[in-house]
A and B are shown apart, each in its own frame.
Chain A
Amino acid sequence: MYRTADGEQVFVVDSHIHFWDGSPANQKNRFAEGWVECFYNYHKNLSPPDYVWPLEQYQRYSEQQLMKDLFEDGYVDVAIFQPTYLRDFFVNGWNTTEQDAVLKEKYPDKFILNGAFDPRDGDAGIRQLEEDVKRYGLKGVKLYTAEWKGDSKGYKLNDPATYRFLDKCVELGVTNIHIHKGPTIWPFNRDAFDVADIDEPATLYRDAGLRFIVEHCGLPRVEDMCWIAAQEPNVYGGLAVVMPFIHASPHYFAEVMAELMWWMGPDRLLWSSDYALWSPKWIVDKFMEFDFPEDIKQSRGLSMSFDDKRKILGLNAAKLYDLPVPAEAGFQVAVPA
């Protein structure tokens, strides 16, 4: 819970966190090494100096560190695990549902556990999804369409094979589909970050109640993401990776937030730290202080109210995951379904 100087409370849901293992022992190949190096550079480049970790700590951090950074220092009430498997790169996977489940079982009220599926797994994948939902009570999945699998370098969200899994999600009540778009998605010669494959499933599964949360707001194709989201009311923006620019480049951050607020509004944006890429404390502090600069306020007629911040920091995610929100933390702020 974040408390303002005048005692108002803000319910904080960190909608995208990891408990990964990037240690050398878990790295299978040079792709794993490249993966960790790339993540670490994001961390170093965008964190305030006091929050930069040594590489070894970053590769594998402890449960105690995570609990402290999120719940003691970072104002977080509930955090959502978003797994990323990467079994072609890491011996035990980078950050799997099973790994995350250990902490979920230990601290059931602190975490939401999301699962994952990969349409290339076919029948076995469907059975696994059924088992995972039964075992963990999943309400959401995180999909990484750029994941390598043998000769395949990725898949599309609008593949018929994916629809089979989305049908299964509808049947099992898994309504929150988080999608990470990343480089090297198949085919190689097309735009690797294209978000267009979200448009069709968003339309097809709207009435069935699926919500598509585009992690990183489609960065680096935020322009296409805004365009799709403006037309599809069940498309949401996950602010992972966008948020830390609030420190390094506040004006650019404001410009991107202006686009997101303009095309999507405050009801469909979900804040996250992407822990351990970044630590939540400084991001929440800065966001609570944030306001659009005068030039954007005047030319766009945009504002970022206290209630907007409450929605983005927690209430929107609480709505998607049916989380109980303490009365004093703004449950009266209406968040559309």
Chain B
Amino acid sequence: MIVAAESASTSSSTSEPEEAVLAALRRVSDPELDESLVELGFVDSVHVDRGRVDIVLRLPTFWCAPNFAYLMVHDAREEALQLPGVNEVNVVLKDHMCGDEISTGVSAGHAFSAVFPGQTDGDDLGELRALFRGKAFGMRQEQLVRFLLDAGLTAEEVVGLRAQDVLDASDANGLRLELKGVARLLRGGAPLARAYLQRRQRVGLDTDPGAPLVTDLDGAPIEAGNLEAHLQRTRRQRVSMTFNALMCRGLLETRYGLVDNRKEG
């Protein structure tokens, strides 16, 4: 059993199957914050007994919105079910206003609207998920574009980049980029590019390698003269999401008495 997974994940008592579950949970993110459940400290414990996996999740407050909580519990279960040898997954959400409804509803494979009858409206949680994938796209794009501008690219060069000009975003030495026919290595840029490309793919904008890299959410290119105004909008999303993540981490630490390593100086 792993307790408080983020701090315990490196401990020697962690078994291999449990490590595999944690690795799977790293692929699940809080849609509102666009960070992984493991990094956020939302994984309370993981227990593997042969083919059965028990996961306990915890959130920063009793009141965290049930819809986002449902998506996280649902996604955690789906990811764990993908693991070889796993045939049963139970995810419990503890200390939450709707913890029981969500835990049993997800395990039974029920739709959100069926778990909260009369409390939902139209589309299940698809629209909500899409809305926040769009915000995450904006946030990650702003981080990458600011990096490129700081690295010396002009606005014209940034908006002129095509998807295929990202030669390699997995190199530990930096981001490999083709700029006007010349390969460049931009140190420190690879994680930002990876994060952006993944969110770009998730909103369905990775179909054409010749398409512009930096676009609005509909895939429309940005004109160089409009890049700054565009960034003002996406920066708003980035500031909001990073601030929310900060608030959530702090509340989680206080709620569960975790070590506070968040405060700046």
Point out residues on A near B: beta carbons under 8 Å: 31, 34-35, 37-38, 41-42, 44-46, 151, 153, 182-184, 186-193, 219-223, 226-227, 245, 248-252, 255-256, 258-259, 262-263
Separation of A222 and B255 alpha carbons in the complex (Å):
24
| Contacts between chains A and B (CB distance < 8 A), count | 120
Among the 9-residue stretches B17-25, B50-58, B176-184, B234-242, the one with 4 or more Cβ atoms under 8 Å from chain A is: B234-242
Known: A192-B67, A223-B240. 20 other contacts (CB 8 A): A41-B61, A46-B250, A183-B64, A184-B63, A188-B67, A189-B112, A191-B67, A191-B131, A193-B65, A219-B244, A220-B32, A220-B244, A227-B233, A245-B246, A249-B246, A249-B262, A249-B264, A255-B242, A255-B243, A259-B235
Q: Find the residue from B68, B118, B125 having the highest chain A CB count within 10 A.
A: B118
Nearest residue in A to B111 (C-beta to C-beta)? A189
Residues in B neighbouring A46, C-beta threshold 8 A: 250
Residues in B neighbouring A183, C-beta threshold 8 A: 63-65
- Docked-complex contact B97 and A31, CB < 8 angstroms: yes
Contact of B61 among A38, A252, A262, A263 (CB under 8 A): A38
Tally chain B residues at the interface, Cβ within 8 Å.
46
Q: Does B66 contact A (CB under 8 A)?
A: yes
Residues in A neighbouring B16, C-beta threshold 8 A: none
Q: Does B113 contact A (CB under 8 A)?
A: yes
Residues in A neighbouring B112, C-beta threshold 8 A: 188-189
- Docked-complex contact A189 and B113, CB < 8 angstroms: yes
Contact of B254 among A45, A222, A250 (CB under 8 A): A45
Point out residues on B near A: beta carbons under 8 Å: 32, 60-68, 97, 112-113, 116, 118-125, 127-128, 131, 135, 232-233, 235-237, 239-240, 242-244, 246-247, 250-251, 253-255, 262-264
Residues in B neighbouring A184, C-beta threshold 8 A: 63, 65-66, 97
Residues in A neighbouring B135, C-beta threshold 8 A: 223
B116 to chain A, nearest CB (A): 5
A299 to chain B, nearest CB (A): 9
- Docked-complex contact A188 and B116, CB < 8 angstroms: yes
A48 to chain B, nearest CB (A): 10
Separation of A251 and B253 alpha carbons in the complex (Å):
20
Residues in B neighbouring A248, C-beta threshold 8 A: 250, 262-264
- Docked-complex contact B254 and A190, CB < 8 angstroms: no
Q: What secondary structure prevails in chain A residues at the interface with B?
A: helix
Contact of A190 among B128, B235, B243 (CB under 8 A): B128
14 A-B pairs (CB sep. < 8 Å) = A38-B251, A45-B250, A184-B63, A189-B120, A189-B122, A189-B128, A190-B121, A191-B65, A220-B240, A223-B237, A227-B233, A248-B250, A252-B246, A258-B239
Separation of A42 and B251 alpha carbons in the complex (Å):
6
Separation of A248 and B250 alpha carbons in the complex (Å):
9
Nearest residue in A to B236 (C-beta to C-beta)? A223
Q: Find the residue from A35, A37, A38, A42 having the highest chain B CB count within 10 A.
A: A38
- Docked-complex contact A189 and B254, CB < 8 angstroms: no
The 6 closest A-B pairs by CB, nearest first: A34-B62, A187-B121, A192-B65, A223-B236, A45-B254, A223-B240
Residues in B neighbouring A153, C-beta threshold 8 A: 119
Separation of A46 and B262 alpha carbons in the complex (Å):
11
Residues in B neighbouring A151, C-beta threshold 8 A: 118
Residues in A neighbouring B32, C-beta threshold 8 A: 220
Given contacts A183-B63, A252-B243, contact A189 B97 (CB under 8 A): no
Residues in B neighbouring A189, C-beta threshold 8 A: 67, 112-113, 116, 119-125, 127-128
A56 to chain B, nearest CB (A): 17
- Docked-complex contact A251 and B121, CB < 8 angstroms: no
Separation of A221 and B131 alpha carbons in the complex (Å):
12
Residues in B neighbouring A245, C-beta threshold 8 A: 243, 246-247
Separation of A226 and B112 alpha carbons in the complex (Å):
31
- Docked-complex contact A220 and B243, CB < 8 angstroms: yes
- Docked-complex contact B131 and A220, CB < 8 angstroms: no
Q: Find the residue from A42, A183, A258 having the highest chain B CB count within 10 A.
A: A183
- Docked-complex contact B243 and A256, CB < 8 angstroms: yes
A193 to chain B, nearest CB (A): 7
Separation of A257 and B67 alpha carbons in the complex (Å):
29
Separation of A35 and B61 alpha carbons in the complex (Å):
9
Separation of A226 and B251 alpha carbons in the complex (Å):
24
Nearest residue in B to A255 (C-beta to C-beta)? B239
Given contacts A151-B118, A188-B120, A249-B263, contact A222 B239 (CB under 8 A): yes
Residues in A neighbouring B121, C-beta threshold 8 A: 186-187, 189-190
- Docked-complex contact B128 and A191, CB < 8 angstroms: yes
Given contacts A34-B62, A187-B120, contact A226 B246 (CB under 8 A): no
Q: Find the residue from B65, B66, B135 having the highest chain A CB count within 10 A.
A: B65
- Docked-complex contact B239 and A186, CB < 8 angstroms: no
Contact of A226 among B64, B65, B124, B236 (CB under 8 A): B236
- Docked-complex contact B63 and A252, CB < 8 angstroms: no
- Docked-complex contact A250 and B240, CB < 8 angstroms: no
Nearest residue in A to B64 (C-beta to C-beta)? A183
